[in-house]
């Protein structure tokens, strides 16, 4: 047991549950899901039964009402077994659920939070567009008032689980083309796939995270009832960025799970693989790699848990969440690269798990804000004397 982890009784029980679930329901299938790019929709109900899809939602909505540290511990564990399941859990818990919890009306919370927490529906988040990635405020999806509702047109891109989601939190412009207001002219809408004009578009064929389905969503004259607008029609961008602070902590924990799995595989292999008449782990060149991997992984976890604990105390942690994502995801990329090196030629084959971890790690440096975007957030805060 890692002495840096001071687990409460609840955290220990959650981790035991996560480990048992991973052993029975994820680890035996993850390699095949990856080969087939297969998303298993039954996971949603199973994760919901464990409470893992409502970890931070209040008990009044059938959530577990847990803190961010406990949620991130569970997410690390699930992601170590399969990062595709990790991203499902992270997006669902961190983005749509938190957006509705923080900014929704009582009626919106009553309608959506229970089903989200119980895993009856999966949640998705639709901010990016084909031409609006890092520059999210340049989105073009347009919402036009229509009586007491809205008509939405546009295409959202890179939507994790968008084709399986029962609720999608989507951002669209509410300003007019002749009076653009930048980030101040964007609203957030609670969409469901039954709305007329809602279509699932292109499915991406990805390098990694292949068991997580990533699609475009097309809004074709989609009529959205007025009760589906979230909060102020001009504040959707601020809601999205504020909620992404939560999301970035989740992706940091996902990356940590990937890194830890790669380290554990590399350490076990180094202890058993014989070359020059002894286990390769007896060579300093390999020991130094394992030492650097372990050090970076523990540094990443310590930063994540300290930031999550500050968030649990109600403190603003925006730039620290960005530091967590930046450091943990670059750690995952570095550790998985080193793990392949420890395995040598075998690591480069699909017979061993480290090449999948390497492919899965890469996207963590890209989605929910690239490493460059995290550096912008951290750098801007530094200029204001924070950090
Ligand atoms: N909380 C609340 N408001 C915030 C905020 C936050 N964390 N960050 C910014 N805002 C507000 C600002 O205060 C500003 O309002 P004011 O003008 O009143 O001050 C407004 O939002 C615009 O902010 P900026 O001027 O900083 O906006 P910008 O255009 O310069 O962009 C950015 C800032 C950091 C680059 C931002 O666009 C960004 O984070 N881009 C990356 C987008 C991203 O992370 N996409 C992820 C897609 S989701 C995904 O990947 C999910 C998945 O499926 C895995």
Q: Give the Cα separation of 39 and 25 in Å (integer).
A: 13
* Nearest CA residue ID for atom 12, ligand 1: 238
Q: Does residue 239's CB lie within 6 angstroms of at least one atom of ligand 1?
A: no
Classify domain 238-383 at the CATH topology level: Butyryl-CoA Dehydrogenase, subunit A; domain 3 (1.20.140)
- Cα of 44 from ligand 1 centre, angstroms: 29
**Is residue 136 lining ligand 1, measured as CB closer than 6 Å?**
yes
238 ligand 1 Cβ < 6 A: yes
- CATH architecture label of 124-236: Beta Barrel (2.40)
- Over the range 78-109, which residues count as b (16 or more CB within 10 Å of their CB) and which as e? bbbbbbbbbbbbbbbbbbbbbbbbebbeeebb
Alpha-carbon span 233 to 87, nearest angstrom: 28
Q: How far is 85 from 42, CA to CA, in rounded Å?
A: 11
For residue 245, indicate whether it is catalytic.
no
Q: Is the CB of 373 under 6 A from ligand 1?
A: yes
Distance 239 CA to ligand 1 centre (A): 9
Q: Are 169 and 152 in contact (CB under 8 A)?
A: no
The answer to whether the beta carbons of residues 204 and 157 sit under 8 Å apart is no
> Which atom of ligand 1 lies closest to the CA of 247?
51
Extents of the domains making up the chain: 9-122, 124-236, 238-383
pLDDT 10s digit of each residue in the chain, 387 long?
Answer: 799 998 999 999 999 999 999 999 999 999 999 999 999 999 999 999 999 999 999 999 999 999 999 999 999 999 999 999 999 999 999 999 999 999 999 999 999 999 999 999 999 999 999 999 999 999 999 999 999 999 999 999 999 999 999 999 999 999 988 888 999 999 999 999 999 999 999 999 999 999 999 999 999 999 999 999 999 999 999 999 999 999 999 999 999 999 999 999 999 999 999 999 999 999 999 999 999 999 999 999 999 999 999 999 999 999 999 999 999 999 999 999 999 999 999 999 999 999 999 999 999 999 999 999 999 999 999 999 998
Separation of 238 CA from ligand 1 center, angstroms?
A: 7
Q: 137 CB under 6 A from ligand 1?
A: yes
What is the whole-number distance in angstroms between the Cα of residue 237 and the centre of ligand 1? Answer: 7
Q: Is the pTM here over 0.75, yes or no? A: yes
3-state secondary structure of 289: helix
CA-nearest of 308, 330, 264, 292 to 22 is: 264
CB 29 within 8 A of CB 84: no
| CATH superfamily name and code, 9-122 | Acyl-CoA dehydrogenase/oxidase, N-terminal domain (1.10.540.10)
CA-nearest of 177, 69, 51 to 116 is: 51
């Amino acid at each position: 047991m890692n002495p840096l982890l001071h687990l409460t009784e609840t955290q220990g029980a959650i981790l035991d549950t996560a480990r048992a679930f991973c052993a029975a329901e994820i680890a035996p299938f993850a390699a095949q899901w990856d080969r087939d790019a297969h998303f298993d929709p039954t996971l949603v109900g199973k994760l919901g039964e464990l409470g893992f899809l409502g970890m931070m939602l209040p008990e009044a909505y059938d959530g577990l009402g847990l803190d961010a540290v406990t949620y991130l511990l569970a997410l690390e564990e699930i992601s170590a077994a399969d990062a595709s399941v990790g991203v499902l859990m992270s997006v669902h818990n961190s983005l749509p659920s938190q957006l509705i919890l923080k900014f929704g009306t009582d009626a919106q919370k009553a309608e959506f939070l229970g089903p989200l927490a119980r895993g009856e529906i999966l949640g998705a988040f639709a901010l990016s567009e084909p031409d609006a990635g890092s520059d999210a405020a340049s989105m073009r999806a347009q919402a036009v008032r229509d009586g007491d509702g809205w008509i939405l047109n546009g295409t959202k891109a890179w939507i994790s689980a968008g084709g399986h989601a029962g609720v999608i939190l989507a951002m669209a412009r509410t300003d007019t083309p002749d009076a653009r207001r930048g980030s101040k002219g964007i609203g957030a809408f609670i969409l469901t796939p039954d709305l007329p004009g809602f279509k699932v578009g292109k499915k991406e064929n990805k390098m990694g995270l292949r068991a997580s389905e990533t699609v475009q969503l097309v809004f074709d004259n989609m009529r959205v009832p007025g009760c589906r607008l979230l909060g102020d029609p001009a504040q959707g961008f601020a809601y999205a960025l504020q909620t992404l602070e939560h999301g970035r902590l989740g992706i940091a924990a996902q990356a940590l799970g990937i890194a830890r799995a790669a380290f554990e595989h590399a350490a076990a292999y180094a202890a058993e693989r014989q070359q020059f008449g002894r286990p390769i782990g007896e060579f300093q060149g390999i020991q130094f790699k394992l030492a650097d991997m372990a050090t970076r992984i523990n540094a990443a976890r310590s930063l994540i848990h300290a930031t999550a604990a500050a968030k649990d105390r109600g403190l603003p942690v925006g730039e620290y969440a960005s530091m967590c994502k930046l450091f943990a995801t670059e750690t995952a990329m570095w550790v998985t690269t080193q793990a392949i090196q420890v395995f040598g030629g075998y690591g480069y084959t699909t017979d061993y798990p480290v090449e999948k971890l390497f492919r899965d790690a890469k996207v963590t440096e890209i989605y929910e804000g690239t490493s460059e975007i995290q550096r912008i957030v951290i750098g801007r805060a530094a200029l204001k004397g924070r950090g």
